[in-house]
Amino acid sequence: MKNRVIFLITASLLLSLFSCKFSRLVKSGSVDEKYEAAIKLYNEKDYSRALQLFDQLIGAMRATDKSERIYYFYAYCYFNQRDYTLASYYFKRYTTNFPNTQYTEECLFMSAYCNFLNSPEYSLDQTVTYDALKELQLFTNMYPTSKRVSECNDLIDKLREKLEMKDYKVAKLYYRMDDYAAAVKSLSNILKEFPDTKHKEEIMFLVFKSYHKFAKESVEEKKRDRHTKAIIAYNEFVTQYPESTFLSEAKDLKAKTQRELDAMYTKDEKKINIESEKNQLFKPIK
């Protein structure tokens, strides 16, 4: 117990002495002293104190040959403290100030990677996600042979999955709120923007179902067109998913839609050529 008390007192005194020494260095140390101390603190993973010194040095040593290294460590101090917003900013500043160094490629990637790490849950605003996608794509364009391109593509896929999930949830929300016009637009756009979506089967079924419900709620002069689009959507769906788990419900709704559509034709009218409109249905809706 006595030894433990002595150890704690000694440790406290050493910490106090180090803090005083660091404070004097920050206030009155020379530029070279601060630089050496900052590098030492960084290597010891004391990023908070290192950042205080780098913050003073980044302007004082701007015109020296050490400026590049200071910017590099400065950005990584923020990164290692998980301040990805400022880290991204300073990594990007590095690439602007030092466009042709051995670390330029790394810093451009890290700027994009910080935005990837900052990308929020799909339910939140996705501005940072779009920024990350833009910067990752910029990196692959500028360094197409880089070993980091494969990682960039993986990160891009993950970000696109997040955007897809957001659009998918929004589209289903429209459907649950009985806003079938908005549901059709949102669902159809997902198929165009994310053609390999894992939700494709359900989305195509919901497009058909939304048209069916939309037609039923429409004014008389618009019902025929919307019932027709529902039949087209059904045909598209069963062509791609002939053994779908939604098939039984889809067949029942299709029969109802067809009966309602058939009842709208007069004896002298020719039925609408559904195939002629088929290719129009899944065009992106602005």
pLDDT of 42-67, one tens digit each? 999 999 999 999 988 988 777 688 89
Specify the pLDDT at position 60.
73
**What does the pLDDT average to over 211-222?**
86
Residue 191 has pLDDT above 80, yes or no: yes
Specify the pLDDT at position 175.
96
Q: What are 148-165's pLDDT values in tens digits?
A: 999 999 999 999 999 999
Residue 286 has pLDDT above 50, yes or no: no
Q: What are 98-118's pLDDT values in tens digits?
A: 999 999 999 999 999 999 999
| Nearest Cα to Cα of residue 175 among 143, 146, 211, 148 | 211
| Nearest Cα to Cα of residue 125 among 82, 85, 162 | 162
Tokens coding 98 = 């030092």
Q: Which percentage of the chain shows pLDDT scores above 90?
A: 67
Q: What angle do CA 122, 171, 260 make, to 5 degrees?
A: 170
Specify the pLDDT at position 75.
96
Give the number of other CB atoms < 10 A from CB of residue 136: 26
Q: Give CA–CA dist 28/97, Å, rounded.
A: 29
Residue 87 has pLDDT above 70, yes or no: yes
pTM: 0.79
Q: Give CA–CA dist 28/30, Å, rounded.
A: 7
**By the 8 A CB rule, do 140 and 149 touch?**
yes
Largest CA-CA distance found in the chain, in angstroms, rounded: 107
Residue 135 has pLDDT above 60, yes or no: yes
Say which CATH topology domain 178-281 has: 1.25.40
**What does the pLDDT average to over 18-27?**
64
Residue 21 has pLDDT above 80, yes or no: no
Q: Name the residue ranges covered by the structural domains of the chain.
A: 29-81, 84-163, 178-281
**Which residue carries 């260095």 as its tokens?**
25
